[in-house]
Structure 1
Amino acid sequence: MHIYHQLLRSAVVTSAALVVVTALVTSCSSKTVGGGSDDQLLSFVDPFIGTGEHGHTFPGATRPNALVQFSPDTHLIGWDASSGYHASDSVIYAFSLTHLSGTGIGDLGDIALLPFSGADSLKPVATFDKATEVATPGYYAVQLQNFGIKAELTSTDRVGLLRATYADSTDRKLLLDLGHILQPNWGHKVMGNDLRLVNDSTIQGTYYTKGWAEHHQLSYTIRLASPVDSIALYRDGKRELIQPGYAVTKDTADLKLHLYLPAGSEAYQVKIGVSAVSPEGAEKNLTAELPHWDFDAVHQESRRIWSEVLSRITIETKDTTVLKNFYTAVYHAHIAPYNYQDVDGAFRGMDKQIHQGDPKDGHYTVFSIWDTYRALHPLLTIIDPDQALRYGRSLIQDYQEGTILPRWPLAANYTGCMPAYHSVSILADLVAKGLASKEDLRLWTEAAVRSSIYREDLAKKFAGTRELDLITRHPYYKELLGFVPADSVPESVSWGVEMAYDDWCIARLAEAAGLDSIRQVYDKKALYYQRYWDHETKLMRPVMADGKFRTPFNPRFSAHEKSDYTEGNAYQWSFYAPHDMEGFLKLMGGKAVLEQNLDTLFTTSSRIDGAEQSGDITGLIGQYAHGNEPSHHIAYLYNYTASPHKGQALLDTVLRHFYKPTPDGIIGNEDCGQMSAWYILSALGFYQVCPGKAEYTIGRPLVDKATIRLKSGTFTIEVKGNSPANKYVQSAKINGRDITGTLTFSHADLRAGGTLEIVMSDKPRK
């Protein structure tokens, strides 16, 4: 039996006690959270969700958008080392200060420390019992079994704080590993170390690496709670004792420091300030954010900050599983992007130079844009529009420094990862929702246009580096032929259809800026997706340089980074024209054809062909793959047919079976908040199919009631007759206006506040 039908038939209706979550709106005062509803929200967050299978999340201590993610590294090799942690592991190599959340490629893992005891070894490794692990927002703790040490982590935005309690008060050591790296088998390596032993309780330096980020450096200041007895330095395994004043510059050796701590029964603490600018910047960050040694106060302040974030949306539901999934999703949706700016406003730009910004604005990195433009950024325009705008302006700052908008900016580096140039989608959505100023529009349009064409100047500039991947031949072929030829470049169909959407976004930016000639050019390019539509197979099919479709053609075939589709196949990529659904329907032959194609997608065999198929194709219902982002809007396309109820049933299946409050509870890579943002919006009952078009379409809400805090007022969602069995929408009203016929409402409707009322039933609406 097909998985869709299996899941629908085997769905178990559970009867849980009614859990009503209400949250007080907390202020940004220094008062810490005690008990009550805010603590209740925090209790629903489980940072271990997504740390198993291929979710690639981490459980360590962090704050919203913080530069520091202080977390254990249990996994160094392979795909599942992307975040440095995997739920199946039983050893800890170190606790490092920076991590990526849910990505498919690893980097960071900077500045690694490990408390240890017992006999010296060059690289001590801790064993641990998972039953001793504790992770909550802003806090992580574990018992290191073989060393008899309890390690606890907390953090501010730019400072990590370690508290280690040693069972043997006379045998206390600390490893500083400056050769530590994640995924060394994937080309990530240490390029050098600057190190200075300032005194017997302070170490400063800069750590240089090369990997996904071509030129990455992170400076640090390490402050010890009390002076060390002695320090041994291991350079390429050779031991020497060092004294205050010792320094090295750009030492490329594998450096490890063993710090011998004074005896004592009290817990020993270490704080590490970091900066992308300089050791002096790290010192400023440490002094400003953590001038004291009160571990519990830092932890409680993190709880207060996370409580404020979680309380932006309050929900009521009968299902505790929904509560855990929902608030963990809100937590994961606020980890990235990271604020890359020091407390004084200094930051390292895409040109690798130091710039001065406004500390209130921040400057951000780690944008997983190919993933997050779809739901994360639209979500933030609702619950935190000021932050959404800061992200957009940060991308524009990247353009001003590097002359092109980034696709996946990482640590002041262009990575060029993933197709198209979806920064323009983020900008267009901000404009569509009235968040950009008139002064922004011409610069934003300029940035978008210059980022949509082949740049010979940048191809020369980035030659021989990882950043060259930002500059591809795909835009060149698009301008020359109007399509991307499959016999010239891989992933041609994905590039072609996604660039068409991005060009539509550029047209909207130009339209808002009053640049009509540019609007006309890019509105024409927005229709280039049509070139890939094959009326015979009713799929988006690769086109060869001679203008003919690829033959033979297997729509189930996938070869990672080698076939005609990015991390997918023809089935998963044949429903992508979100900006032109009216034209897309006309192209394919109308609503009935779309419904038939959707039915085929969700009910055909889940077999994927190809020995090198992409590992990202997960969460299959037929050929729909919820574990990867190109499928995320597809179930909502049933709202463009005569059978919206089919999409509602499918959304119920995805929400209930592909999200679980367990380590393996995320069906694919979390991707810096996109998987979570999809869940948040879908559980609330609506989704934005086309970012840049300020319109939402209704799906299948899981919550009984939700209240969203807006800048002025609230937006309430009331779901009547909701239950696991009642998965079908019977009617919908927005502020009293019936929208049952369209199942759509505008961002203006939401922004004005008021109420969305949805009535559910166990039978499809006729």
Structure 2
Amino acid sequence: MLLKKSVLSAAIAITLAALSGCDSNDEDEEVISGGGDNPIHVEGPGILKYVDPFIGTGFNGHTFPGAVLPEGFVQLSPDNQLTGWHSSSGYHNDNDTIYGFSHTHLSGTGIGDLGDILFLPFTGDKSESSKFRKSQEGAKPGFYQVELDDTGIVAELTATQRVGLHRYTFPEGETQKLKIDLGHTLNEDWGGVSLINELEIVDDYTVIGKRYSGGWAADQRVYFTAKFNKPIAEYIITSQGEPQSGSSYKTEGNDVVAYIEFDQDSSPLEVKVGLSPVSTDGAERNLMAEANELTFDEAVTKAENTWLNNLDDFEVEGGTDAELTNFYTALYHTKIAPMVHQDADGQYLGMDKAVYDASSVAENYQNYTVYSMWDTFRALHPLKTITEPEKAGEYAVNLIQKYKEGGLLPKWELHSNYTGTMVGYPSVAIITDAMVKGLADDVDPADALEAAVASSTWHPEDFTEWDQELLKTVMTPHIKYIEMLGYAPADKTHDSVSYGLENAYYDWTISLIAEMAGDQAKKVEYEKRAQGYREYFDHNPEAYAEHSATGFMRPKMLDGSWREPFDPYNAEHETGDYTEGNSWQWTWFVPQDIPGLKEVMGGEEAFKQNLDALFNAREDEGTSDMTGLIGQYVQGNEPDQHVPYLYNYTDTPWKTQEIVDEILDEFYLPTPEGIVGNEDVGAMSAWYVMSALGFYQITPGDATYTIGRPLFDKVTIPVGHSGTFSITAENNGPDNIYVQSVTINGHELEEGLFFEYSEFRDGGELSFVMGPEPKALN
């Protein structure tokens, strides 16, 4: 058939209309409702009935409801918010206008990006957006559907790891049309721009193209190949709204759009879209490898089975439906990222933007992306060392390889880009924890030490070819001053206290790598640097009596004086002393040396007094990240999420059990607003999973766990290569939240509260007896 271009029999509107609003929810007999004003969700088989992808799409959760597989490169999801903080994932539950379905998204971040390759089916001239109702929207793992009110089109989405599959059912008699928008972006508020668009109509059934964008990820690249189940009848390609001639168009502009009309028949329009970070050929090979023979319904079933295989080896007994929904949805969120970022044949884009072959790096090497490490080193990666230990080893190898490609370990890596986002060099915590637990056999300790030292040492002169402004965000001047003075001065660096405390912890993990590498000098050097937290603590009980505290971590100036005035509640970003918080939260970030923190605070009683003061301080949300408060403890952000477990280092460990129970009950709910802060690519959910199990790792790098309050009567989780670890809670219930006794593998825990990874690495049983009254176990 000879293709021809036209204006598709109607004038095409080019200007996007940013429509938003709220619609009511109607009942639908074919779906299960979360209740109240919550979105409805399609029920999956087995334990998938407890997974609700709409949890976290409201409030500040910033999750997306679309189709994705575990670690899938494709996240095919609707975009209904394009600007503002709530556009981070492209979707917010409060809005009722869909602009289309794009193929890449971020789960729960506080910054937006991606939203690549937008598709929107339409009829007539309705090519810009459509209203929708919650009663006509549904999702389950690996599947999303919605009816577009403006056109009556039913859109269904599913995915393989590298392929998005669309099925659009049009109203009888309507001409079937599709918009493909390469200029669409979700991160304009963060300077996002579509840099290069290429699109080509290859034949009657195939469209290929690429999109390069800049923004949070300065040089983000996605290639695609789209194949249709019916022939193209007419098309037009526009750039900046102007029709172009020919069947292909390449531009450095940012607004290339194809409007396509298909041969008329009543069957649904189906599209398979392969993605690649390397090339359009790679995208086609991915499509052929993963979805060439799949029907849409077969792909949905395959996605369901993949999710079942990833979730149903977590066996839970007891708990309410709400608690089971919270648990399995949280587990679902922990498996979205890091995600695979290489083609099926092993080709991938390195940090230096060169194309690599995975087989040339290492046998079975896997390249990953979306490492939100400042968030995820705390609970997500420790969880994976338990339940997916082989992944922990792969991440360690992958991060070190990224150092070899780019010259530094990344701290928030996004599609082979150094974003420089957040604090310090958290890669070392993830690498160290895997090595300490014996999960990184493929890591040479000398290589790990080289990467860690290079990333924690001030040497910008080695990066003359780098964009210097970008380099400053990755290798920050805090390092220079810490090397010179032992601390980061507040009048010379931004967020000095947060960087100083976190870098001290990271330096402690580097000392462990040095020990494993046999480098005694580096071990001693980094052990000394790890004590740098002491520089920031001002122990002055009289000065802080009004706060019932003995002291706080404070910003120190270049001349050694404290910054004045000081207010521990002050979280103003302009002041620049703390990252996403204030002194109340950051005072506690010394996980590498809790006995030392006790010492600088003034001893055991002062430590306990300060903990009580934190949880009883006035609730004051100083920033948008400070949500889910108990006093000045913040559950909605990561810096002090280990703090509830610090009562286990006192003679009142039952306070840990009380606080954890309160958080599990009040700050995680089976509703769109049910995640109390940014989900942060699995970080918030991993805290829930670990805490619901009844234990937590306070210090990644120290393979020690401490107990909390188990939520369920029994949970069996996968560990090791084929073992299981069971956590049982006798006499458990909402009125019996206090631990009366606890054993592991039949013997009492160390000091009644702590146990080691080695005790359950290959299997075992942690047994609680619960009761209604507090009991000291240590």
**What is the correspondence of 1:334-733 to structure 2 with a 5 Å cutoff?**
334-358=335-359, 360-437=364-441, 440-457=444-461, 460-463=464-467, 466=470, 468-536=472-540, 537=544, 538-560=551-573, 562-608=575-621, 613-710=622-719, 711-733=721-743
Which residue identity does 2:517 align to in structure 1? A
In structure 2, distance between residues paired with 1:256 and 1:438? 46
1:288 matched residue in structure 2: 289
Give 1:115 deviation, angstroms: 0.5
Cα shift at 1:204: 1.0
Secondary structure in 1 aligned to 2:45?
Answer: helix
- How many angstroms does 1:311 deviate by? 1.9
Gap change, CA 1:253 and 1:102, over 3 Å in 2: closer
* Secondary structure of 1:321 counterpart: helix
Identical columns (%) = 46
Q: How far apart, CA to CA, are the structure 1 residues paired with 2:662 and 2:87?
A: 30
Residues 547 and 705 of structure 1, relative CA distance in 2, 3 Å threshold: same
Check 1:525–1:354 CA distance in 2 against 1; reply closer, same or farther (3 A cut): same
Q: Is the 8 A contact 1:214 1:465 kept in 2?
A: no
Aligned to 1:762: 772
Q: Do residues 61 (structure 1) and 67 (structure 2) align? A: yes
Which of 118, 122, 141 is matched with 1:116 structurally?
122
Rounded to whole Å, the distance in 1 between the matches of 2:493 and 2:519 is 33
Q: After the TM superposition, which of the residue ranges 353-362 and 564-573 deviates more from structure 2?
A: 353-362
**Contact preservation (8 Å) 2:123, 2:174:** no
Partner of 1:3: none
Per the alignment, do residues 249 and 233 of structure 1 end up closer, same or farther by CA in structure 2, a change over 3 Å counting? closer
Q: Unmatched 5+ residue regions in structure 1?
A: 1-35
How far off is 1:142 after superposition? Answer: 0.2
1:308 and 1:638 map into 2 onto residues whose CA distance is: 37
Aligned residue in 1 for 2:40: none
Q: Partners of 2:230 and 2:347 in 1: how far apart?
A: 30
Q: Which amino acid aligns with 1:173?
A: K
Aligned-partner residue type, residue 256 of structure 1: V
Residues 214 and 467 of structure 1 are in contact (CA less than 8 Å); yes or no, is this contact kept in structure 2? no
Q: Does 2:752 align with 1:742?
A: yes
Q: Following the alignment from structure 2 to structure 1, what is the Cα–Cα distance between the partners of residues 391 and 440? A: 12
Q: Which SS does the other structure have where 2:270 is aligned?
A: strand
Structure 2 CA distance for partners of 1:641 and 1:453, relative to 1, 3 Å:
same
> In structure 1, the residue corresponding to 2:198 is in which secondary structure?
strand
Deviation at 1:458, TM superposition (A): 5.4
The 3-state SS of whatever aligns with 1:196 is strand
588-597 vs 397-406, which moves further: 588-597
Partners of 1:592 and 1:642 within 8 A in 2: no
User: In angstroms, what is the RMSD of aligned CA positions?
Assistant: 1.5
- Mapping of 1:216-295 within 5 angstroms? 216-240=220-244, 246-295=247-296
Q: Deviation per CA, 1:228-247, whole angstroms, max 9, x where unpaired?
A: 1110122222235x55xx22
Q: For residues 266 and 468 of structure 1, what CA distance do their matches in structure 2 show?
A: 55
Matched to 2:624, the amino acid is: G
Amino acid at match of 2:631: G
- Structure 2: runs of 5+ lacking an equivalent: 1-42, 545-550
Give the SS at the match of 1:131.
strand
SS in 2 for 1:335: coil
**Aligned in 2, Cα 1:254/1:464: closer, same or farther, shift over 3 Å?**
farther
What is aligned with 1:9?
A: none
Give, in angstroms, the shift of residue 321 of structure 1. 1.0
TM (norm. structure 1) is 0.92
Residue 731 of structure 1 contacts residue 739 of structure 1 at CA under 8 Å; is this kept in 2?
A: no
Q: Deviations over 1:301-350 (max 9, x none)?
A: 11111111112321112311110000001100000111110001000000
Q: Distance in 1 between matches of 2:394 and 2:597?
A: 34
Q: CA deviation at 1:168?
A: 3.2
Q: CA deviation at 1:740?
A: 7.1
Q: Structure 1 counterpart of 2:66, which letter? A: G
Shift of 1:386: 0.5
8 Å CA contact 1:67, 1:339 repeated in 2:
yes
Structure 1 pair 184–697 and aligned structure 2 pair: CA distance change class (3 A) = same
Local SS of the residue matching 2:522? helix
CA distance in 2, matches of 1:185, 1:572: 28
Structure 1 83/47 Cα, relative in aligned 2: closer, same or farther at 3 Å?
same
Deviations 1:601-651 (A, max 9, x none): 00110125xxxx421011111000100001210000000011001111011
Distance in structure 1 (CA, Å) of the matches to 2:462 and 2:612: 45
Name the residue aligned to 1:29. Answer: none
> More displaced, 315-324 or 459-468?
459-468
Q: SS of the counterpart of 2:106?
A: coil
Q: Does 1:309 align with 2:318?
A: no
Return the alpha-carbon distance in structure 2 between the equivalents of residues 39 and 293 of structure 1: 20
* Correspondence for 2:133 among 129, 135, 144: 129
**CA distance in structure 2 between the partners assigned to 1:287 and 1:426 by the alignment:** 35
